[in-house]
């Protein structure tokens, strides 16, 4: 028997999560009879710290048919080749988590295994030197891929730094042009059916808005999923103890770097995100180990440029909703959970939720098997990201403050214990299920944080040391020539995508 299709969708909340969801659904459901309404209140501010992305954002932009050059101009964007970590392994040490490929696999064996052997023999350069993205970002270079055969210039992986508010505004115009109905208003009451599912939302002006399916993009408050449906929250503060951030924008005083910087401090870390019109800065810290005044002082000691506005304090609790889909309601964005922006995964989690929704799109039956599958996939993904973030704190030689002493000795999830043990023995790294980060990312952070395996892949010894050395020298040469070919980041922006005047 055919099941009735849902016809009305209400998205509660704007910002990045709300308007990304609205734009994607309105594009996918355009001219199909579905009605999408987004309800938001100008009285409620958005968090807006998601200014750095990873390369997967290209899939979302492609889904919407967004032109890259126009997108960059509209959002004051710059380009991001990776993340530079400063003072994480120990004070004075730095490394890159660069996007894209590092080195070149040999005879089916990952490149980093050959590097491990040659490093032990004192015949390898720093691992960053085998990554085009790491070299280019350190030299403020950038270009998009070109057709260059087997050259690394053919496969340049990059994300963006952009203004999250401008991004939301850009998507809002797009979504409205595709039929989304925006309603200004603050929810005064959530009305439910006898089975507990949501029937409608009553706004402060007395108007009532019904729908078949509700998407909660109400931020940390989680008005629908948390407050109304009482779905619990699994707290991860014992693994990721940072629970506050102070953010501030500064005027640019130099040409933009093509990476996000994450500099560790005594009880957390500070980001630097260069846009075309300003630089985003934020100090993420643990309130158990540092006062707000101390955090504010440290932030300002490490700013480079005049402050443009008053600093904002954001309080958060790292973790996830025990379910992100319950009955006829789905939580996307901060209402579903939060992990700090250390690896720029905030917008990606919104994006992946939207893609998962399009793959498991419901009808009015709201089959529990579909809901369970969605929740399982979401849990697996966010727990993989959680473990990757914990690695940055746990695998460190720092013991210069109570915060770092706690982090390096804390109990960690068994999934991460197993991953570290596998690597420590023979340098093995395997991707699990729909895990976001691949072996390239895990190795760069494990190595950058100071983990050193006892051995390497045994098939590395099939080649002589001389042949491995020659191949690695050739890779260094190719990376150097490729980087030299790239223009400066600022030159590329000026030539192709200078932002529109504000």
Domains, in order of start, for the chain = 8-51+163-236+321-366 (3.50.50.60), 101-160+386-490 (no CATH)
CA angle 273, 395, 436 (to 5 degrees): 60
CA distance 421 to 398: 21
Query: 209 pLDDT exceeds 60?
Result: yes
- The reported pTM is 0.96
Distance set, CA 219 to CA 46, 191, 391 (Å): 8, 20, 27
CA distance 270 to 263: 5
- Alpha carbon 194 to chain centroid, angstroms: 39
User: Residue written as tokens 């050259």?
Assistant: 151
DSSP 310: -
Sheet with 181-184: strands ordered across = 181-184, 35-40, 8-12, 213-216, 329-331, 325-326
Cβ(386)–Cβ(437) under 8 Å?
no
Q: Binning pLDDT at 50, 70 and 90, where does residue 32 land?
A: confident
Cβ(259)–Cβ(80) under 8 Å?
yes
| pLDDT, position 433 | 81
Label residue 74 exposed, middle or buried (CB < 10 Å: 0-12, 13-18, 19+): buried
CA distance 387 to 239: 9
Query: 263 pLDDT exceeds 90?
Result: yes
The mean pLDDT of 486-491, rounded to a whole number, is: 98
Query: 323 pLDDT exceeds 60?
Result: yes
Query: 415 pLDDT exceeds 70?
Result: yes
CA angle 471, 84, 294 (to 5 degrees): 155
pLDDT per residue as tens digits for the range 81-121: 999 999 999 999 999 999 999 999 999 999 999 999 999 99
The mean pLDDT of 436-465, rounded to a whole number, is: 97
Query: 448 pLDDT exceeds 70?
Result: yes
pLDDT per residue as tens digits for the range 343-372: 999 999 999 999 999 999 999 999 999 999
Backbone angles phi, psi at 274, to 5 degrees: -85, 120
Strands 208-210 and 329-331: unpaired
pLDDT, mean over the chain: 96
């Amino acid at each position: 028997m055919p099941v009735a299709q849902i016809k009305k969708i209400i998205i509660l909340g704007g910002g990045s999560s709300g308007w990304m969801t609205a734009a994607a659904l309105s594009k996918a459901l355009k001219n199909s009879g579905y009605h999408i309404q987004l309800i938001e209140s100008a009285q409620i501010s958005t968090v807006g710290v998601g200014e750095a992305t990873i390369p997967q954002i290209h899939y979302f932009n492609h889904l919407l048919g967004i032109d890259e050059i126009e997108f960059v101009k509209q959002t004051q964007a710059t380009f991001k080749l990776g993340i530079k970590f400063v003072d994480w392994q120990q004070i004075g040490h730095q490394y890159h988590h660069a996007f894209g490929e590092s080195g070149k696999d040999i005879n089916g064996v990952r490149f980093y295994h050959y590097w491990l052997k040659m490093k032990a023999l004192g015949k390898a350069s720093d691992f960053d030197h085998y990554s085009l993205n790491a070299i280019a970002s350190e030299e403020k270079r950038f270009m998009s891929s070109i057709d260059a055969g087997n050259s690394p210039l053919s496969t340049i992986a990059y994300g963006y730094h952009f203004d999250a508010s401008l991004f939301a505004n850009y998507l809002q115009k797009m979504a409205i042009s595709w039929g989304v109905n925006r309603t200004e208003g603050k929810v005064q009451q959530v009305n439910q059916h006898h089975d507990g599912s949501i029937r409608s939302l009553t706004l402060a002006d007395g108007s009532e808005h019904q729908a078949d399916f509700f998407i909660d993009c109400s931020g940390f408050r989680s008005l629908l999923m948390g407050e109304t449906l009482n779905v619990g929250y699994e707290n991860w503060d014992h693994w990721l103890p940072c629970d506050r951030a102070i953010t501030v924008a500064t005027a640019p005083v130099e040409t933009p770097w093509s990476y996000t910087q994450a500099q560790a401090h005594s009880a957390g870390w500070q980001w630097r995100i260069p846009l075309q019109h300003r630089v985003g800065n934020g100090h993420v810290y643990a309130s158990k180990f540092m006062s707000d005044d101390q955090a504010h002082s440290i932030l300002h000691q490490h700013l480079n440029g005049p402050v443009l506005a008053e600093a904002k304090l954001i309080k958060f609790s790292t973790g996830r909703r025990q379910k992100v889909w319950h009955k006829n309601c789905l939580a996307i964005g901060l209402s579903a959970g939060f992990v700090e922006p250390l690896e720029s995964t905030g917008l990606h989690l919104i994006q992946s939720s939207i893609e998962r929704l399009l793959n498991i799109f419901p009808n009015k039956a709201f089959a529990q098997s579909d809901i369970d599958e969605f929740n399982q996939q979401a849990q697996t993904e966010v727990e993989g990201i959680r473990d990757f973030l914990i690695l940055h704190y746990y695998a460190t030689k720092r013991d210069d403050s109570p915060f770092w002493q706690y982090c390096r000795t804390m109990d960690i999830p068994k999934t991460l214990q197993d991953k570290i043990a596998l690597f420590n023995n023979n340098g093995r790294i395997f991707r699990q299920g729909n895990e976001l980060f691949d072996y390239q990312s895990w190795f760069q952070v494990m190595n950058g944080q100071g983990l050193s395996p006892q051995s390497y892949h045994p098939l590395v010894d099939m080649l002589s040391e001389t042949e491995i050395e020659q191949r690695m020298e050739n890779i260094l040469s190719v990376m150097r020539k490729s980087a030299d070919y790239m223009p400066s980041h600022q030159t590329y922006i000026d030539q192709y995508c200078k932002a529109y005047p504000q």
